[in-house]
Chains A and B, each alone.
Chain A
Amino acid sequence: MPDKVSLTIDGRTVDAPAGSTILQAAQRANIYIPHLCHNDELKPYGACRLCLVEITHGKRTRQVASCIYEITEGLEVKTDTERVKNVRKLVVELMLARNPKHPAIRKIASKVGVEKTRFAVEIKGCILCGMCIRTCREVVGVNAISYKSRGFLREVATPFNESPTDCIACGSCAYVCPVDFIQMTEKNGVRTIWNTEFPLQKCKKCGRDIAPEKQLEYFRKKVNLPENHFDTCLHCR
């Protein structure tokens, strides 16, 4: 099996390692393809559909999500056909109908030539890219949040809408969210996320807040550190 694969993107020949996706190959060649549900640390999901490109293989032409589609030798990719552009415009307008103001969406909107949405606006904030859930599952490994309901009623939620029992308040979900939908605050030695208060571990020497107790305990057990490892902060250790 060859290590490198040669394909064309918008007429340019691009080489990329075998097993790469079209999006990865494009990024290596500095070719811009918009995307909102992709993160290099997460398994490709293919939900936002912004990264759609048109591929031709032999006689067959179709639209595929470039974040998922694995490159093959001689693949012809076009990132800017009319059909692809229309899908992007539609997706952006649909997202603006859920979240008209956030800069991350407005930035992509201006890149694809959309000023405003023609659709009925129902503010939801969350664009259901799934990155919070996927991060919690694939990177952190606690699976504290997931999707609730189907279709237009779909929401990111905690089990039974109650305080998430498995959450360690690491904040990765808030960090990875492209539209800052997940609220996380800290006050008086307590971190609040998902409507739940998580006490912060204080450094036994300097009194500074380190991180949520639950998060430190989870990491400590995961890499088998001694019980008092996080009693002091990095500065005091």
Chain B
Amino acid sequence: MKKLTTPKELRDLQAKIKESVNPDKSRIIICAGSGCLAYGTKKLIDGFEAEIEKQNLQDVVEVRTSGCHGFCERGPITLISPENVFYQKVGLNDAAEIIEKTVLNGEVIDRLLYVDPQTGEKIVHENEVAFYSKQTRNVLGSNSKIDPTKIEDYLAIDGYSALAKVLTESTPQGVIDEIIEANLRGRGGGGFPAGWKWDATRKAQGTPKYVICNADEGDPGAYMDRSVLEGNPHVVLEGMLIGAYAIGSSEGYIYVRNEYPLAVANITIAIEKARELGLLGENILGTDFCFDVKINRGGGAFVCGESSALFASIEGRAGEPRAKYIHATDRGLYDKPTCLNNVETWANVPLIINKGAKWYQGIGTENSKGTKIFALVGKINNTGLVEVPMGITLREIVFDIGGGIPKGRKFKAVQTGGPSGGCIPEEYLDMPVDFDELTKLGSMMGSGGMIVMDDRTCMVDVARYFLRFLEEESCGKCTPCREGVHQMRVILDRICEGNGQEGDIETLEWMGQAIADGSLCALGGSAPAPVLSTIRFFRDEYEAHIKDKKCPAGVCKDLITFTIDPETCNGCRLCFKPCPTDAISGEKKQVHVVDQEKCIQCGACFEVCKFDAVIVK
């Protein structure tokens, strides 16, 4: 493909690509995000291609792979277009059947349809599936329409039009004003108004100025940025281009964690293709604007998601934050003015330029505009990525879209904001989710991780989990974080092992405040949040662990015993085999007994017993 030297050439190319699409040809679109690939969809993709080859159907139907569709619980996912048939949990050997029945004969395969749990109805079309219909997929929606490795697909959905619009119709300050008016706030967790950040960088002294995409996404359970970067890398590039034009930058970096190989691969391809078309490089679309981008991969440190540690990492130093009294917009990467924004923040930019700030303001709440992508994971029926307008309630996300708690268990809490956030109990399910509301409960919206917990989750163990994570990820520079988080974890371990002492809770509360106040960066500054919020809302569980040496949720191994109820046990011996220590004894059809000396509380017997005869206390 030739370099585009004017905006008109871009428009002509977009039109040409759209025209080349044969409306009569069927398309089989297979989700090729990391989640579905982990199910083994490569085999499915090969199966479709082989079948089309075998039956010589190249003119009738084509196979395409797309970015992540978001309904990860139901993968592998396949869409058949133009009918828009939605198949979920597709078997890896189903290719031939789908082609035969659905593509060639227009028949729908019942067992691959999504069944609405409320009505029992089988849903044929994607837009009627409640998981999707209740979302507002302004950003993620494009994923299912494009193959992320093909720039033509992105152009076909009017990709790079926002860039052309900005280069022909706006001044750099005009772009900044638009982003300020839209009130786009950072999606990485900080929620800082992006427009003001761009403005400060533009006004700062010094060259070169840098534009950075933070794709280090480290919160456990969060994978929003992964799906955007894997599934639609061009929207991120377009956002960065627009930002660079506004700020006066010609050099950008994408810092992506190395644990996202597909995202690294797809953004690398996207950059190559964009350069081929002249959308990156010198004199973009025939203007004076030059911009190009380098990829930096992370080395496996959560702390490198912190902006000043990220700069150190790019500079080749160990990822250690520095005090933020001097803003990165004045002195950031290489001590030059730097504008760092999250993947999802950049991905929102073309949208705002194309549809206008006023349109964007129509979505969300007064101070939190637009949509937010959440990774809904944990004890939830519909695990996946959910994009909703800000202001929606937790209840709507967890129950209406998420489908509630599996196995009929009871909702206990939802953890938001990753290791920087807290746990929110049932009584606050009607809280709206946005940048400001959840902070009132000692949590935060954060980057979008949302871990749902049921009644078999021990909240003390949850606090311990996050402390262990942060203890390992602390850079080690400042005393409150390095030593404080470590000592908090030591106390939590003692409590979970049955050695909790009177005064431990008060010590944790005191430490928490001091660590939050004293830490150098936000890792330490927010580290106490999971502990303090679980103490706030689940103090009784802590007290049970400390005073009664009991774990009410039946999780902490040192505090629970597994026994068999003699009333319910029918002597089937099913629990014998999975027991790793041969701790269960008993004749066939006689009541079985657990030898407490041998039992290691692994829970295998509890999992396999069909009669609920194993009691965990």
* Contact code string A61-99 (vs B, CB < 8 Å = 1, else 0): 001110011100000000000011011011100110110
The residues of A that contact B477 with a CB separation of less than 8 Å are: 47, 130
CB distance B517 to A87 under 8 Å? yes
Q: Chain B interface secondary structure, helix, strand, loop or mixed?
A: helix
What separation, in Å, do the CA atoms of A154 and B303 have in the docked complex? 15
- Segment of A9-17, A145-153, A176-184, A193-201 in the binding face: A145-153
Q: Write the chain A residue with the least CB distance to B514.
A: A90
Contact A64 B517 (CB under 8 A): no
Closest to B487 in A: A119
Convert B453-492 into 0s and 1s, putting 1 for each residue whose CB lies closer than 8 angstroms to a CB of A: 0000000000000000001111111111011101100100
The residues of B that contact A84 with a CB separation of less than 8 Å are 517
A15 and B113 alpha carbons, distance in the complex (Å): 76
- Interface residue from B318, B478, B514 paired with A86 (Cβ < 8 Å): B514
Q: Is the CB of B514 within 8 A of A119?
A: no
**Bound: A128/B518 CA distance, A:** 16
The one of A46, A70, A128 that contacts B482, using a Cβ cutoff of 8 Å: A128
Instruction: Report the interface size for chain A: residues with CB under 8 A from the other chain.
Output: 35
What A residues does B517 contact at CB under 8 A?
52, 63, 83-84, 86-87
B471 touching A151, Cβ below 8 Å: yes
In the assembled complex, the Cα of A64 lies from the Cα of B525 at a distance in Å of: 12
How far is the CB of A149 from the nearest CB of chain B, in Å? 7
Q: Which B residue's beta carbon lies closest to that of A84? A: B517
Contact B487 A154 (CB under 8 A): no
Question: Are B478 and A87 interface neighbours, CB within 8 A?
Answer: no
Q: How far is the CB of B485 from chain A (nearest CB, A)?
A: 8
Shortest distance in angstroms between A167's beta carbon and chain B's nearest beta carbon?
Answer: 20
* CB-defined contacts of A69 to chain B, threshold 8 Å: 323, 325
User: A65-B323, A118-B507, A120-B487 are contacts. A49–B519 as well, Cβ < 8 Å?
Assistant: yes
**B483 and A152 contacting across the interface, CB-CB below 8 Å:** yes
Within 306-330 of B, Cβ neighbours of A (below 8 Å) are at 318, 322-323, 325
Query: Across the interface, which residues of A come within 8 angstroms of B318, CB to CB?
Result: 147, 150
Asked if B556 is an interface residue, CB under 8 A from chain A, the answer is: no
B595 CB → nearest A CB, Å: 34
Judge if B359 is at the interface, Cβ distance under 8 Å: no
A132 at the binding interface (Cβ < 8 Å) = no
Other-chain contact of A64, B325, B472, B480 (Cβ < 8 Å): B325
**A109 located at the interface, meaning its Cβ lies under 8 Å from any Cβ of chain B in the complex:** no
The residue in chain B whose Cβ has the minimal distance to the Cβ of A95 is B479
Q: What is the total number of residues of chain B having a CB less than 8 Å from a CB of chain A?
A: 32
User: Is there contact, CB below 8 Å, between A90 and B325?
Assistant: no
| The one of B475, B486, B487, B520 that contacts A46, using a Cβ cutoff of 8 Å | B520
A67 to chain B, nearest CB (A): 10
Q: Are B518 and A91 in contact (CB under 8 A)?
A: yes
Chain B, 515-545, contact with A by CB distance < 8 Å: what is the 0/1 string? Answer: 1011110000000000000000000000000
User: Given known contacts A49-B520, A91-B518, is B323 in contact with A150 (CB within 8 Å)?
Assistant: no
Query: Given A94-B480, A147-B318, A151-B471, is A87 in contact with B518 using a C-beta cutoff of 8 Å?
Result: yes
Tell me, in angstroms, the Cα distance from A70 to B479 when the chains sit together. 22
Closest B residue, CB atoms, query A92: B479
Query: Do A47 and B515 have beta carbons less than 8 Å apart?
Result: no
Report whether B519 and A152 are in contact in the complex, using a CB–CB cutoff of 8 Å: no
Contact of B490 among A119, A130, A150 (CB under 8 A): A119
How far does the Cβ of A207 sit from chain B's closest Cβ, in whole Å?
A: 46
A152-B479 contact given A47-B520, A90-B511, CB 8 Å threshold: no
A151 partner, pick from B474, B479, B487, beta carbons under 8 A = B474
Query: Does residue A48 face the partner (Cβ distance < 8 Å to B)?
Result: yes
Contact A89 B487 (CB under 8 A): no
Is B301 located at the chain interface by the 8 A CB criterion? yes
CA distance A119 to B513 in the complex (A): 16
Give the complex CA separation of A83 and B477 in angstroms: 21
In this assembly, does B334 line the interface, its C-beta being within 8 Å of a C-beta of chain A? Answer: no
Contacts of A91 in B (CB 8 A): 479-480, 518
B428 within 8 A of A: no
How distant is A2 from chain B, measured CB to nearest CB, in Å?
20
Give which listed residue, A94, A120, A152, contacts B476 with CB less than 8 A. A152
- B472 with A151: CB separation less than 8 A: yes
Contact A152 B514 (CB under 8 A): no
| Complex CA–CA separation, A176 to B253 (angstroms) | 39
Closest beta carbon of chain A to B420's beta carbon, Å: 17
Q: Given known contacts A46-B478, A49-B478, A151-B473, is B487 in contact with A94 (CB within 8 Å)? A: yes
Compute how far the CA of A180 lies from the CA of B511 in the bound complex, rounded to whole angstroms. 28
Chain B neighbourhood of A64, CB < 8 A: 323, 325
Chain A residues near B303 (CB-CB < 8 A): 150
Q: How near does chain A come to B305, taking the closest CB pair, in angstroms?
A: 14
Instruction: Write out the residue numbers on chain B whose beta carbons fall within 8 Å of the beta carbon of A65.
Output: 323, 520
Q: A90-B484, A152-B474 are in contact. Are A49 and B301 (CB under 8 A)?
A: no
Name the distance in Å between A138's Cβ and chain B's nearest Cβ.
Answer: 15
* 0/1 interface trace, chain B 413-429, chain A, CB 8 Å (1 if under): 00000000000000000
Residue in B473, B478, B518 whose Cβ sees the most chain A Cβ within 10 Å: B518
Task: Tell me the bound Cα distance from A128 to B479 in angstroms.
Answer: 8
CB pair A87–B476 under 8 Å, yes or no, is: no
User: Out of A48, A63, A147, A150, which one reaches B479, CB within 8 Å?
Assistant: A48
Contacts of A128 in B (CB 8 A): 476, 479, 482
**Contacting pair B487 A49 (CB below 8 A):** no
When C-beta atoms are compared, the residue in chain A nearest to B507 turns out to be: A118
Tell me if A94 and B323 are in contact (CB < 8 A): no
Contact partners of A49 in chain B: CB under 8 A: 478-480, 518-520
| A149, closest chain B residue (CB) | B476
A150:B474 contact, CB within 8 angstroms: yes
**Cα–Cα, bound, A69→B325 (Å):** 7
Q: Which chain A residues border B473 with CB–CB below 8 Å?
A: 150-151
Q: Is there contact, CB below 8 Å, between A52 and B518?
A: yes
Q: Are B482 and A154 neighbours in the complex by a CB distance under 8 Å?
A: yes
Determine whether the beta carbon of A47 is less than 8 Å from that of B478: yes
Query: What's the minimum C-beta distance from B457 to chain A, rounded to whole angstroms?
Result: 26
Q: Which residues of A contact B507 (CB under 8 A)?
A: 118
Q: Which residues of B lie under 8 Å from residue A127 when comparing CB positions?
A: 479
Q: Smallest distance from the beta carbon of A92 to chain B beta carbons, Å? A: 9
Closest to A146 in B: B318
Partner of A90, one of B323, B518, B520: B518
Q: What is the CA–CA distance of A89 and B478 in the complex, to the nearest angstrom?
A: 15
A166 to chain B, nearest CB (A): 18
> How far, in Å, is B514 (CB) from chain A's closest CB?
4
Using A47-B478, A83-B517 as known contacts, list a sample of 11 further A-B pairs with CB atoms less than 8 Å apart, ordered by residue number in A.
A47-B477, A64-B323, A65-B323, A84-B517, A87-B514, A90-B480, A91-B479, A97-B483, A150-B303, A150-B474, A151-B482
19 A-B Cβ contacts within 8 A?
A46-B323, A47-B477, A48-B479, A49-B519, A64-B323, A83-B513, A83-B517, A87-B514, A87-B518, A89-B514, A90-B510, A90-B511, A90-B515, A91-B518, A95-B479, A97-B483, A127-B479, A149-B476, A152-B486
Which 10 interchain pairs have the tightest Cβ spacing?
A: A154-B476, A94-B483, A87-B518, A90-B514, A151-B474, A152-B486, A49-B518, A151-B476, A86-B514, A119-B487
